[in-house]
A and B are shown apart, each in its own frame.
Chain A
Amino acid sequence: MIVYSFATEQKICEIGSVKVGGQPGELPTLLIGTVFYGRRYKELNEELLEKASKDIEAQRTISEETGNPSMLDVFIDSEEHVEERLSYVLDHTSSMEPFSIDVPEAEVRIEALDYLDGQGALDRVLYNSMNLGITEEEKEAIRSHPPKAAIVLGYNPRDLSTDGRMGILGHGSGMVEGGLIEMALECGIENLLLDTAATPFDHKAAETLRSIPAMKNRWGYPVGCSIHNTVESWLWLKKRRKENRELYNICDIGSNGLTIVLGADYMVYGPVSNAPFAFPFVGMVDKLVSEGAEEYFGVEPPEIHPRSRME
């Protein structure tokens, strides 16, 4: 069992009631579960909303039980879903509960920021994500409506190695002037979470993991990823998903453990409905990391931590 200790100062980011970052073992892993992802949410009906409500509450409950902080990741795929989905989440979370907005298109991200500013909710928002595809209009929108924190994506389509992923963040690799971290800071975002950008098997998937300690040590910001995306794109498993859901879930949720032992501070673990399994599993790994960190490096766990909550 390897537990790392980083030579550089490790920043702790606070978003609402959630703290994330620090040296391994210093804080429990933040778990971010996605709501409204997939075609079935194209039109929200009463049944889907009731299910979402139950899933959100289940994440909250298991988060309390294991001591792992939680956050919702609100997937928004088009302009017409911005208000519908965000108003639902605002209605179903307290003013201290942060949430992430997970939006593939720049135009929709801009609209989401505008809406959240109007609702006075930007201080709870984790922007997911600032990446290579950012537009000038988007940067302007971020400056005008700055979210509390942002995920900065280390995806470098030209070089998937650890050095390539760090390059897009640090100097831009010739594609982003000054690099994405500098760009995020220039846009007025102080709380950055770095994402190592999960890639599929055969596309340097292992670099997704190796980048975790490398990025943490280089910049000290909290680091994580959505490693479940690597699992989700695995064709062998995909072919067995329907017949053997348990097998799929074991691989999907289990993948998160790999990131934690390499130093990850947070993870976007997939559908929020997986919370009852993801949290106890991650809590178990956090217990191991915390024991190792205390033994080797004298890092004591905080009062609320899986080590005390899951004795």
Chain B
Amino acid sequence: MKGRNSMNEYLWGGEFNTGNYESPVAVVTMAERIDLPEGKVAVWGKMMTENLGVEKVVANIISNPNIRFLIIFGSDIRGHRSGSTLLSLHENGLGEDNRILGAPGAMPYIENIDREAVERFQQQVEIVNLLGEEKEEGLLKAIDDCIEKDPGSFGDPYIAIKIETKGAQMEDLQGKIALCRDLLLDPLGKITTLNTQGEE
């Protein structure tokens, strides 16, 4: 459990291990849990989904300016294609509708971090694409290569603020509550429809 999920340095959380904060290397291991040398890697862990998972990786990486290389290692996630989606985000960025341009995943949208955070991610790290690789020796060598060419810190940490979207809030309407924009629930559990003028 040592070092796992340290929330002191990577505020967006996720299923990852932390090692040497000064290291220039981060590793996404897709669905695999892998033990990596703590002294050589800043943070490494899983990434399953092409939207929420990718957002967490981006936000956590840019919060540590020492990280200059992101290695994407292992088999891509079936259906989600989150590894390929992360590559697309780094290469192409976001479209106007917040869809990751060129991403092959089913639902590749970034909604909880802003475009500035994405641009910072693109500028701060170089991607090392080991997607599809399964041999850990290759990963370990890539880590060493990255450390060898460490360009130094990118500057200040970038703390990505989570964009909060306001959903339908429950409102008290004469003893009834709104389940969503136009559905009312009475105290006995009867559900009725509310029209857009606020009348039943």
Interface residues in chain A, defined as those with a beta carbon under 8 Å from any beta carbon in chain B: 2-8, 39, 77-78, 103-106, 131-133, 155, 157-164, 166, 174-175, 199-200, 202-204, 207, 210-211, 213-214, 217-218, 235, 238-239, 292, 296
Q: Which residues of B contact A200 (CB under 8 A)?
A: 52
Binding site for A on B (CB under 8 A): 1, 4-5, 13-15, 31, 51-52, 78-80, 97-98, 105-109, 111, 165-168, 179-181, 183, 185, 188-193
Task: Assess the A218–B183 pair: CB atoms within 8 A.
Answer: yes
Q: Are A203 and B52 in contact (CB under 8 A)?
A: yes
For A7, the chain B residues whose CB sits under 8 A away are 190-193
Residue in contact with B168 in the complex, picked from A106, A155, A162, A213, CB distance below 8 Å: A162
The dominant DSSP class at the A interface is: loop
Contacts of A77 in B (CB 8 A): 78
Question: In this complex, what residue of A is CB-closest to B167?
Answer: A161
Q: Contact check, B167 vs A133: say whether CB atoms are below 8 A apart.
A: no
Name A132's contact: one of B31, B106, B167, B190 (CB within 8 Å): B106
Chain A residues positioned under 8 Å from B181 (CB to CB) = 163
Let me know if B190 and A163 touch, CB within 8 A. no
Q: Are the CB atoms of A204 and B193 closer together than 8 Å?
A: no
Which of A133, A204, A207 has the most chain B CB within a 10 Å cutoff? Answer: A133
Interface contact A214-B79, CB-CB below 8 Å: no
Look across to chain A and name the residue whose beta carbon is closest to the beta carbon of B111: A158
Q: Nearest 7 CB-CB pairs, A to B?
A: A133-B106, A104-B79, A161-B167, A157-B109, A162-B180, A157-B51, A214-B180
Evaluate contact between A2 and B189: CB separation under 8 angstroms.
Answer: yes
Chain B nearest CB from A169 CB (Å) reads: 12
List chain A residues, Cβ under 8 A from B106: 106, 131-133
- Where chain B touches its partner, the secondary structure class is loop
**Chain A: minimal CB distance from B107 (Å):** 5
B190 x A214 contact (CB < 8 A):
no
Chain A residues whose C-beta falls within 8 Å of the C-beta of B168 in the assembled complex: 161-163
Q: List 23 A-B contacts (CB under 8 A).
A: A4-B189, A5-B189, A5-B190, A7-B192, A8-B193, A104-B78, A104-B79, A131-B106, A157-B52, A157-B109, A157-B111, A158-B111, A159-B167, A161-B166, A162-B167, A164-B165, A175-B97, A207-B167, A211-B180, A213-B191, A217-B191, A217-B193, A235-B13
Complex Cα distance, B179 from A35, in Å, reads: 35
- Give Cα A235 to B1, complex, Å: 12
Determine how close the nearest CB of chain A comes to the CB of B70; give it in whole angstroms. 21
Say which residue of A161, A174, A239 sits within 8 Å of B165 (CB atoms).
Answer: A161
The answer on a CB contact under 8 Å between B107 and A133 is yes
Q: Which among B97, B98, B107 has the greatest number of chain A C-beta atoms within 10 A?
A: B107
A213 to B186 alpha-carbon distance, docked (Å):
13
Q: Is the CB of A163 within 8 A of B191?
A: no
Min distance, Cβ A302 to any Cβ of chain B, angstroms? 21
Please determine whether B79 and A213 come into contact, CB atoms closer than 8 angstroms.
no
Note all chain A residues with C-beta closer than 8 A to B189.
2-5, 292, 296
A213 touches B98 (CB 8 A): no
Which residues on the A side are within 8 Å of B98 (C-beta)?
158
With A157-B52, A162-B179 given, name 4 new contacts (CB 8 A). A4-B189, A4-B191, A200-B52, A238-B15
Check A213/B179 contact, CB under 8 A, given A158-B98, A203-B52.
Answer: yes
Contacting residues, chain B, for A155 (C-beta < 8 A): 107
Residue in A closest to B191 when the chains form the complex, CB atoms: A217
Q: Kindly report which residue of chain B lies nearest to residue A202, judged by CB atoms.
A: B13
State whether A105 touches B79 (Cβ < 8 A): yes
Chain B proximity of A203: nearest CB distance (Å) = 6
Chain A residues with CB under 8 A of B108? 157
CA A213 to CA B181, docked complex, whole Å: 13
